[in-house]
Structures are given as structure tokens and as C-alpha cells.
């Protein structure tokens, strides 16, 4: 079985990726906590590549990384790549976003997820992006999920991310869509390259 380093120290993200990549002949492992990669890109794609490439080179292993966040149209795409740093807690981030949108009729937004897979030399092997279009509610709905999930409403499902079952969220979310694009490419790569 081939080893694939997930460019995060977050065990929750490792578990999430294991769900998406189950069935493939890859054993996933977390990057060492002491290995820090500075995310200084200007887009989700750039940050995913920076993380995957940095970890791959440092460990001489295949590495995968994702970078994701919420882009709100009325805020010119903010919080964007700063989604996780938009406040000190999930509730802070939600409260700040709702304050900044107060009085705005334009509530459209999208969750974006970019994924990069890099070879042990740091070169980019695969890159995909998934986008889930929705809108920001005025009040929170639902008990599940994390982050902005209680205020991100997906019209096609008539639910917020926080109201969805994990199966439905995996299917329609930005991350689910990005992995759906990545999987066939990853299977092809596994057949065509010596990994």
C-alpha cells in the first residue's frame, strides 16, 4: 500500500479525507506537527499547492493538501482565504459575517475547496477545485457541522450545511465535489506512475 501524507496536523481532516479516499490503495498519514508550512498564497489553489509541495519535499513522500473557505459576493469574496482567521471561534466568525452583511439584500456566496497532490520532489501531480453555491442566512439553522455551516444555505437541498446528514453534505459540499473530480484522476495516476 502506498503512503500519502495529508498536509495537516488536524486528525479530523485526516478522517474526512479517509472517507473520500476509501477504496483506493493509499495509506493516509498526518504530517508531523513540528513541520510548519507557511500559507502565503493569494488563492485557495495556491495555498493547497504550497502545503502539499512543502510537505512532499520535506518528507520525500507523496502529499495531499486542501485549502477551503467561504467567499461572499457582497463582501467582494471575503472572508475567502482568511475564512478560518475571520474570528477567534466559529461563533465569532458567524457573528462577524452576519454583522458585515447586515442590511445587505445580496446574500449569495460559495464555499470553495482546492486540492493539490504533489510528488515526493514537490512537483504538482494533480489539482482540482470544487465549488458549492449557496446563500448566507440571517440566522443560524441546524445543529451539525462546524464553522459557517449553520448560516450557509444550499437552495438545491433546501438545507444549511448544518442541517444536512453527513452523506448529503459529502455529496454536495465543495470538498465532496473537489474529491469527486480528484478520484478518477488519482486512480489513473496510480496506474500510470510508479508511486
| Catalytically active residues, by annotation | 67
**Strands 2-6 and 26-30, sheet pairing:** parallel
Listed residue (135, 179, 131) closest to 159, CA to CA: 135
How many Å apart are CA 123 and CA 121, to the nearest integer? 6
What's the CA gap between 80 and 124, in Å, rounded?
Answer: 23
Q: Per the omega criterion (within 30 degrees of 0), is the bond before 191 cis? A: no
Q: Is the CB of residue 18 less than 8 Å from the CB of residue 177? A: no
Half-sphere exposure of 16 (CA within 13 A, CB side): 20
Amino acid at each position: 500500500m502506498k503512503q500519502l501524507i495529508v498536509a495537516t496536523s488536524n486528525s479530523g481532516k485526516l478522517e474526512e479525507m479517509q472517507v473520500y479516499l476509501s477504496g483506493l490503495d493509499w495509506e493516509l498519514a498526518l504530517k508531523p506537527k513540528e513541520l510548519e508550512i507557511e500559507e502565503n498564497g493569494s488563492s485557495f489553489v495556491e495555498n493547497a499547492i504550497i502545503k502539499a509541495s512543502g510537505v512532499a519535499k520535506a518528507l520525500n513522500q507523496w502529499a495531499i493538501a486542501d485549502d477551503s473557505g467561504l467567499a461572499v459576493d457582497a463582501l467582494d469574496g471575503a472572508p475567502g482565504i482568511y475564512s478560518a482567521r475571520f474570528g477567534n471561534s466559529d461563533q465569532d466568525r458567524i457573528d462577524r459575517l452576519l454583522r458585515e452583511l447586515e442590511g445587505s439584500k445580496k446574500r449569495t456566496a460559495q464555499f470553495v475547496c482546492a486540492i493539490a497532490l504533489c510528488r515526493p520532489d514537490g512537483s504538482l501531480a494533480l489539482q482540482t477545485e470544487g465549488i458549492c453555491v449557496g446563500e448566507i442566512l440571517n440566522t443560524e439553522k441546524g445543529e451539525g457541522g462546524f464553522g459557517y455551516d449553520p448560516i450557509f444555505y444550499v437552495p438545491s437541498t433546501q438545507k444549511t450545511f448544518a442541517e444536512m446528514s453527513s452523506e448529503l453534505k459529502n455529496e454536495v459540499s465543495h470538498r465532496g465535489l473537489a474529491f469527486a473530480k480528484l478520484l478518477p484522476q488519482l486512480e489513473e495516476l496510480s496506474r500510470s506512475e510508479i508511486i
